[in-house]
Amino acid sequence: MEEDEFHGYPMVTSALVVLFMVAVFIFGHILAGKPLTSLGQQWGCWGYDCVTGRWSVCATLVLGMIVIMIGLLELPLVGRATKVISLILSILWSVWMALGKPVSHPGPARKRKIERQPHWDHVLELPSIGKWRCATAAVSHTLTHKENPSDVQLTGEPAGRQIWTQTPLSTAPQGLDVTITDDVKDFLGIRDFSFDPERNPNAADLPFRCQKVAEWVARGRPLPSNKTAPDTPEAAARKAIQFYQILQSEDGHWAGDYGGPHFLMPGLIIAWYVMGQPEELLSAAQRDAMVHYLRVHQQSDGGWGTHIESPSTMFGSCLCYVGLRLLGVPQDDMCAEKGRTFIRQNGGALYTSSWAKFWLCVLGVMDWAGHHSIPVEMWLLPNWFPFHPARMWCHCRMVYLPMGYLYCSRFAYPRAHTDPVTVSLREELYPDYPDYASIPWESTRSLLAPMDMYSPIPIVMRVVQEVLAVYERPLFKPFRDWLRRPGLAFCADYMAVEDLQTNYVDIGPVNKVMNMLCAWHRDGQKVTPPVTSHFLRIPDYLWVAEDGMKMQGYNGSQSWDTSLAIQGIVESGLADEFPEVCQNAWKYLERTQILSTRTSQSTEAFKYEAAAERQKYYRHVSQGGWPFSTSAHGWPIGDCTSEGMKAMLCLVDLNCIQAGVQEGSCPAMAEKRFQDAVNVILCLQNPDGGFPTYENNRGYGWYEMLNPSDVFGDIMIDYSYVECSSACLQALTAFRTRYPHHRPYEIADAINQGRDFLHSIQRADGSWYGSWACCFTYGCWFGVEGLMAAEGPLGAYSPSVRRACDFLLGKQNENGGWGEDFRSCYDKEWPKEGMEMYGTGGSGVVPTAWALLALMRGRCPDAQAVERGIKYLMVEQSPSGDWPQQGISGVFNRSCGITYTAYRNLFPIWALGRYTQHYLPWVKLREEVLSRNSSD
């Protein structure tokens, strides 16, 4: 009977289900991208919101109703087909919900650890080192225009810009062209600028520091005595600030070396080469200094690492070798010979990783058939589709954007088969083949040297790559071309907008160079105004240290360093002794708040801040955020916004700032500007309660199964991180204390959820894994600060904070310090030898400062352990008040180190300051209370 009733219905109901599905698709498609009135409020959006990566409440309800209706349809009317469909749908839905949660656990210790160590056998000095000068802010704009006269102007706020030049400037501020005397060198304790990578491959940023000291002296200002060592932590902190103020730029920011990765500069050199080697892009002096850098960092085995502390990899080696050759180093040069031998012994360039292969294809020394497909068609998928490039982490998306454009245009250096250098490279790089023409490219795509493998391409991605390989076959050409054309057009438009939004700085060094090349290609391989605008921003990425000229990982870390430095100085209680330092930092941070000043609002970038534009180009709200580097760069970051706001809030009540504002020498900060920053922070919170770097997590955990990079880990989506979450919580609590009436409930809610997130990602051993610096000490510092901010002083008694402190106490070295290096991020495990390689006795000043900051904030009762750590910092301090440059501090994408030269100053200052101002008084009080209690 039942069966009879069903008879005839399955067709109808299946049709109904299909209809519903179509309705959902249309619903999502038509309504997705309707701009939100204000980010963070779902009411303005009807469908899928590309910026937050979420469906609106309304769309979720409709989707829910559809599922329920399918369920209802199941009752008496439907047959087996519907049941099966609804079952499959529910399973898919649950899998999506389960796997779709943001993933913030980097996982257990890796099985394949770094075993090899880098070695060098030379000491070299850059001959032209005395000629290079660092120019900042407005002066740097003038210099760039002088070096590259054209009608094209640099746009955006000049504040924070830092470039290296040999061009003297008659209108330079006093001291710009000062010579570096022996007195200056004596003060800094250096003999010459020779660089011995075997001792430490991290340059100490000496040319810059010498220049600043020389300028200081030229202005007639006294240098602190370097004859007596400070005898108290307070005196050590004072001396350290006295020294550090010398390094502050006139516009108020702290400049410094932000190098480290070796895979960036070769990309620039290749782009320069294929664009016809324009002198205005790279001058002879720059090229010489680059050759020097490449020579210095070549290791004894002939190869180069992925970054300065990494053992040689094929990724680093192939790129650096090609860079060297394009800069004019002949094939029979000793350095070239050694490099080539390393590459050939490891199978040749066919075994390098995918990003290096990409550049080799651009240079025309590898065939595009040897490269996996990067279809620009993916940009044409509907935004709400579960997989869409717009849902990827912005760095990943902004790199694969130009990569896809160049791949799909099959762009290659037009003269590759006649230019003697590239013709020769075609022979040099492939030891297994008699000639270039005989290489079976298609079968080489997935070859990779084991030394490069950090993230083996997951099986899912391998399948996708194979399917795409079929799609790239000639058979599909007409169909492909039909789709590819609009895909390419979208990419070109998106890149042009990214260029405008960042005043041609672009989000990072990789897409900067690629976008420049794409603009040149798009404009008929000519130097048009947009290409010139790109040229003008190349110096922003170049830095000179005693190891030569390098390309930095960003256009600097100005805003980040300044925000942190000033918080350390204020916490030390010594800010009143350095009014000028505080006023200058205040001015810099005010200028640097994104799209919040008249100059920044007069740029094209401001037009793209409109809600509809942001939806179109997948951009989070920018206005009111703080960047990592400069206002002109313009990408807001959750924790940079937080640290920027915290710095402003701790400065605002200082006498010197109040006086400055009253006199008009310092700008005022309206409450509205802090509210804007809070808006940026609040709407960044992910559904797991944590905070990401630049944008909400729009993707899913399974995106990592599509990671095609070989060499980087966890790059596909913007996860929630302990660092970003903690900084945001701290900023929200600091804001709430000062402005309790603005969005109080949302802020309270965000703090509670953020706190729960921090608890949820604490590891079993009590530590947190730090993703952006080495590693557990950094993670613990943020973890403890975040929990203490969310829970208040009582947080110190929470088991989480206690466990974190116990973890740290268990890792203290005999000399009182702590030490870990980039291997802890890479291996996801505390390195047993600590910082043996480039620290002292296994410890380093930066990790020691992080551990101390965490212990002191967490009110560690073991005062002796803290004191021993403080002593370590004091012992390590140089006579000038500086600290030595030890191992690399920063890390990204799990596997690559990056230099934060400012950390060796600002974190010890902060730790010493916290010790004298907060920790010691608390210890004394505690002892008093305890002794009173015991005597009672």
The interaxial angle of helices 579-592 and 558-571, nearest 10 deg, is 140
Closest distance to ligand LAN from the beta carbon of 178 (Å): 31
How far is residue 471's CA from residue 100's CA, in Å, rounded to a whole number?
28
Q: What are residue 844's DSSP bridge partners?
A: 818
How far is residue 935's CA from residue 929's CA, in Å, rounded to a whole number?
10
Q: State both tokens at 845.
A: 């000043």
Instruction: Find how far residue 127's CA is from the centre of its chain.
Output: 32
List 33, 118, 553, 754, residue binding ligand LAN (CB under 6 A): 553
How far is residue 763's CA from residue 767's CA, in Å, rounded to a whole number?
5
Write out the DSSP string of 726-770: HHHHHHHHHHHHH-TTSSHHHHHHHHHHHHHHHHHH--TTS----
Closest distance to ligand LAN from the beta carbon of 625 (Å): 12
Closer Cβ to ligand LAN, 148 or 559, answer by number: 559
Residues that contact ligand LAN, how many (by CB under 6 A): 20
CB atoms within 10 A of CB 56: 21
How far is residue 458's CA from residue 463's CA, in Å, rounded to a whole number?
9
Closer Cβ to ligand LAN, 73 or 513, answer by number: 513
- Decide: residue 576, CB within 10 A, 0-12 exposed, 13-18 middle, 19+ buried: exposed
SS3 376: helix
How far is residue 499's CA from residue 401's CA, in Å, rounded to a whole number?
13
């400049």: which residue's tokens? Answer: 255
Distances (CA, A) of 650 to 567, 653, 662, 907: 7, 7, 18, 17
List 134, 265, 492, 510, residue binding ligand LAN (CB under 6 A): 510
Closer Cβ to ligand LAN, 399 or 531, answer by number: 399
Closer Cβ to ligand LAN, 532 or 893, answer by number: 893
Closest distance to ligand LAN from the beta carbon of 639 (Å): 5
The residue among 105, 206, 235 whose CA lies nearest residue 722 is: 105
Closer Cβ to ligand LAN, 656 or 902, answer by number: 902
The residue among 72, 119, 114 whose CA lies nearest residue 825 is: 114
Closer Cβ to ligand LAN, 261 or 548, answer by number: 261
- Residue pair 767/738 in contact by the 8 Å Cβ criterion: no
List 351, 772, 818, 838, residue binding ligand LAN (CB under 6 A): 772
Which residue number has the CB closest to ligand LAN? 892
Closer Cβ to ligand LAN, 350 or 514, answer by number: 514
How far is residue 247's CA from residue 241's CA, in Å, rounded to a whole number?
10
- Do the bridges between strand 54-55 and strand 896-898 make them parallel or antiparallel, or are there none, so unpaired? unpaired
What string marks each residue from 721 to 760 as x (binds ligand LAN by CB under 6 A) or -?
Answer: --xx------------------------------------
Segment interacting with ligand LAN, rule: CB under 6 A, options 200-208, 281-289, 572-580, 634-642: 634-642
Closer Cβ to ligand LAN, 508 or 819, answer by number: 508
How far is residue 782's CA from residue 858's CA, in Å, rounded to a whole number?
11
Closer Cβ to ligand LAN, 325 or 512, answer by number: 512
Segment interacting with ligand LAN, rule: CB under 6 A, options 155-163, 503-511, 651-659, 880-888: 503-511
Residue 633 binds ligand LAN, judged by CB under 6 A: no
Closer Cβ to ligand LAN, 325 or 619, answer by number: 619
Closest distance to ligand LAN from the beta carbon of 905 (Å): 17
Closest distance to ligand LAN from the beta carbon of 807 (Å): 21
* Span 890-919, contacts to ligand LAN by CB under 6 A: 892-893, 898
* Span 204-223, contacts to ligand LAN by CB under 6 A: none
Closest distance to ligand LAN from the beta carbon of 554 (Å): 5
Residue 395 binds ligand LAN, judged by CB under 6 A: yes
How far is residue 727's CA from residue 682's CA, in Å, rounded to a whole number?
12
What string marks each residue from 682 to 721 as x (binds ligand LAN by CB under 6 A) or -?
Answer: -----------x------------------x---------
- Do the bridges between strand 133-136 and strand 162-165 make them parallel or antiparallel, or are there none, so unpaired? antiparallel
Q: State both tokens at 584.
A: 């200058």
Q: What are residue 691's DSSP bridge partners?
A: 721
Q: State yes or no: is 639 an active-site residue.
A: yes
Closest distance to ligand LAN from the beta carbon of 826 (Å): 14
Closest distance to ligand LAN from the beta carbon of 726 (Å): 10
* Span 590-629, contacts to ligand LAN by CB under 6 A: 628
Closest distance to ligand LAN from the beta carbon of 522 (Å): 21
Closer Cβ to ligand LAN, 554 or 735, answer by number: 554
SS3 516: helix
Q: State both tokens at 709.
A: 């990079």
Segment interacting with ligand LAN, rule: CB under 6 A, options 2-10, 506-514, 850-858, 928-936: 506-514
Per-residue b or e along 167-179, where b marks 16 or more CB atoms closer than 10 Å to that residue's CB: eebeebeebbebe
């920011």: which residue's tokens? Answer: 253
Continuous segment of H or E residues that includes residue 137: helix 137-147
Residue 313 binds ligand LAN, judged by CB under 6 A: no
How far is residue 687's CA from residue 693's CA, in Å, rounded to a whole number?
14
The residue among 854, 859, 857 whose CA lies nearest residue 812 is: 854
Closest distance to ligand LAN from the beta carbon of 776 (Å): 16
Q: Of the listed 205, 547, 561, 639, which one is catalytic?
A: 639
Distances (CA, A) of 628 to 257, 605, 662, 850: 14, 17, 29, 20
370 secondary structure, DSSP code: G
Segment interacting with ligand LAN, rule: CB under 6 A, options 163-171, 333-341, 356-364, 507-515: 507-515
Instruction: Find how far residue 873's CA is from the centre of its chain.
Output: 28
The residue among 803, 810, 811 whose CA lies nearest residue 768 is: 803
List 547, 639, 688, 791, residue binding ligand LAN (CB under 6 A): 639
Closer Cβ to ligand LAN, 195 or 694, answer by number: 694
SS3 890: strand
Closest distance to ligand LAN from the beta carbon of 580 (Å): 27
Closest distance to ligand LAN from the beta carbon of 260 (Å): 9
Residue 719 CB partners (closer than 8 Å, separation 6+) = 102, 103, 104, 690, 692, 697, 771
Residue 185 CB partners (closer than 8 Å, separation 6+) = 191, 210
* Span 430-489, contacts to ligand LAN by CB under 6 A: none
Closer Cβ to ligand LAN, 320 or 399, answer by number: 399
List 178, 399, 594, 784, residue binding ligand LAN (CB under 6 A): 399
Closest distance to ligand LAN from the beta carbon of 684 (Å): 12
List 46, 164, 494, 554, residue binding ligand LAN (CB under 6 A): 554
How far is residue 28's CA from residue 22's CA, in Å, rounded to a whole number?
10
How far is residue 793's CA from residue 857's CA, in Å, rounded to a whole number?
9
Catalytic residues: 639
Binding-site ranges for ligand LAN (CB under 6 A): 395, 399, 508-510, 553-554, 560, 628, 637, 639-640, 693, 712, 723-724, 772, 892-893, 898
